[in-house]
Amino acid sequence: MFFPAISGWDFFALDGSIPAMTSILIKGGSIITENGPVRADILKVDGVITKVGVVEDTADEVIQALGYIIFPGLIDCHVHFREPGYEHKATMKSEAASARAGGVTCVCDMPNTDPPTVTISALSDKVRRASEVTDCDIRFFFGVTSAIHLATLKDLWVSTSDELIALKAYCCGVKLYFDHSTGDQKIEEELIETVFEACAELNIPIIAHCEDPQVNTEAAKANIDEDVAAHSIIRPTKSEAKSIKKALALVAQFGTAFHVAHLSSKRGLEFVAKAKEEGLPVTCEVAPHHLVLSTLDYKKLGTLCKMNPPVRSVSDNEALWQGIEDGTIDCVATDHAPHTLEEKQAGKPLDAPSGVPGVETALSILLTRLQPETIHKLMFENPNRIFDLGKQGLVVGSDADIVIVDPTVKRQIHAADLHSKCDWTPFEGKEVRGEVIRVV
Ligand code: DOR
Ligand code: ZN
């Protein structure tokens, strides 16, 4: 196995010669930091930031950024890039290009691929594939559905072999599904407690898809409606709330670092808020679709707004925005989950695959309602800290990607302008603010 070192860059060209330096100077932009915007120039030489402030140097390229805001490459800690196994839906290369076009240059990919990321060889294979992708830094969650996967994960975490240490650097934690979703990766129920205990001991963050299998099964049994809108009824908010509550009891018992994936409901949010008040090590993310789409959208979008957990009510949307404003919600992560249009539209609506793309549209959706500093927290600082991704941001010595955004542009989202292989968006025609001008 060979994996490139994270954040490294080559000083020598392959033929041994010293390559020519390339420099880019970005003049006059507003750099978004945790403490608000700061007007400064940035000089990047051979991929590394060498000056931030008033920079008078010449450079190979000078970008005039007056009036633009500047983010470090954003982080989306929840995507499904589908490779290997589902390349007809998407590839790492296609989705990395989509991410970059939307200002996202680091993502954490989920294990529900084929093969699933539940073995060392599956993880190594993904890391090798990702090393050929230049648009985006791709990290991976390890999946655990049965005891053998947990044993493998423990081996990976404690190994002293150079190869496994290098591999572990690409693994950002464990993904658990408490109920089935795309890829059928539901964890065996009797294993859940053991995983929380082991991850607490080894300091491995758990990210979980929180829906309760019993509640969902009962709701599905009671349902006779075939309309796609029934999807929100057969996976109800009480399912999410119950699942989060159960997980939080284990967090309280073992002290596991626990992250709630794609929080969708006010009820779920209330449990997270209470656990935070009690000082439990819990964090959470919300997806843009749960902020701006609701059950009212089934009429227009049909299966194009079918995902797990499902869209909720408009008052859930508002509660989630409020959760961002009061700091209960730590991250925005897109759950970017491309399926082909044919797959979404074939057969009975309730059998259509769940999942929507979103990595390229997240930033503009957020800029429509939030201050840039808040976005910096949600899509850089917090995911970087929670999953220990090692990004340094826009400081001297950092190899950060630099995202230049015109915040004043008002435009509509159109699939024709996007880069995901799936070629559709649930946000078609949506009025948003802001446009990524360049990522350098
Ligand atoms: O809507 C979803 N799509 N939710 C998931 O949990 C999985 C995802 C996918 O992989 O398609
Ligand atoms: Zn997901």
In a domain, 422, yes or no: no
Distances (CA, A) of 26 to 65, 74, 76, 95, 340: 6, 18, 24, 27, 38
Residues 414-432 have a mean pLDDT of 98
pLDDT at 7 over 60: no
Residues 405-423 have a mean pLDDT of 98
Query: Which H helix or E strand runs over 345?
Result: helix 341-345
9 pLDDT band, cuts 50/70/90, is very low
- Which residues have a catalytic role annotated? 335
In a domain, 20, yes or no: no
Q: How far apart are CA 263 and CA 285, in angstroms?
A: 6
Domain CATH code at residue 106: 3.20.20.140
Phi, psi of 324 (to 5 degrees): -70, -50
Q: Candidates 301, 308, 312: which one to mutate for ligand 1, based on the most atoms within 8 Å of Cβ?
A: 308
**Which ligand has the shortest distance to the CA of 356?**
1
Query: Which H helix or E strand runs over 49?
Result: strand 48-53
Residues 27-49 have a mean pLDDT of 96
In a domain, 96, yes or no: yes
Distance in Å, CA 355 to ligand 1 centroid: 5
**What pLDDT shows up at residue 184?**
87
CB of 182 closer than 6 A to ligand 1? yes
Q: pLDDT, tens digit, for every residue of 208-237?
A: 999 999 999 999 999 888 999 999 999 999
Phi, psi of 369 (to 5 degrees): -130, -20
Distance in Å, CA 309 to ligand 2 centroid: 9
Can you read off the two tokens belonging to residue 63?
């970008």
CB of 354 closer than 6 A to ligand 1? yes
Nearest to 106 by CA among 69, 81, 125: 81
Which residues are CB-contacts of 307 (< 8 A; sequence separation ≥ 6)? 289, 335, 337, 354, 355, 356
In a domain, 426, yes or no: no
In a domain, 185, yes or no: yes
* Residue 156: domain span: 73-393
Distance in Å, CA 284 to ligand 1 centroid: 17
pLDDT at 368 over 70: yes
Phi, psi of 265 (to 5 degrees): -130, 155
For ion ligand 2, residues whose CB falls within 5 Å:
335
Residues 45-57 have a mean pLDDT of 97
CB of 334 closer than 6 A to ligand 1? no
Q: How far apart are CA 141 and CA 119, in angstroms?
A: 11
pLDDT at 91 over 50: yes
Share of the chain above pLDDT 70, in %: 96
CB of 209 closer than 6 A to ligand 1? yes
CB of 139 closer than 6 A to ligand 1? no
**What pLDDT shows up at residue 15?**
60
Nearest to 122 by CA among 106, 110, 107: 110
Q: pLDDT, tens digit, for every residue of 313-334?
A: 999 999 999 999 999 999 999 9
Return the minimum-mean-pLDDT range out of 143-157, 215-229, 295-309.
215-229
pLDDT at 92 over 70: yes
Q: pLDDT, tens digit, for every residue of 103-127?
A: 999 999 999 999 999 999 999 999 9
In a domain, 26, yes or no: no
**What pLDDT shows up at residue 11?**
44
Secondary structure of 142-208 in HEC code, one letter for each residue: EECCCHHHHHHHHHHHHCCCHHHHHHHCCEEEEEEECCCCCCCCECCHHHHHHHHHHHHHHCCCEEE
Distance in Å, CA 401 to ligand 1 centroid: 28
In a domain, 409, yes or no: no
CB of 181 closer than 6 A to ligand 1? yes
**Which ligand has the shortest distance to the CA of 344?**
1
**What pLDDT shows up at residue 3?**
60
Nearest to 49 by CA among 403, 394, 438: 394
Total domain count, the chain: 1
4 pLDDT band, cuts 50/70/90, is low
pTM over 0.85: yes
How much of the chain is helix, strand and coil, in % rounded to 5? 35, 25, 40
Query: Which H helix or E strand runs over 252?
Result: helix 237-254
In a domain, 194, yes or no: yes
**What pLDDT shows up at residue 10?**
43
Q: How far apart are CA 298 and CA 227, in angstroms?
A: 9
Can you read off the two tokens belonging to residue 398?
């950092």
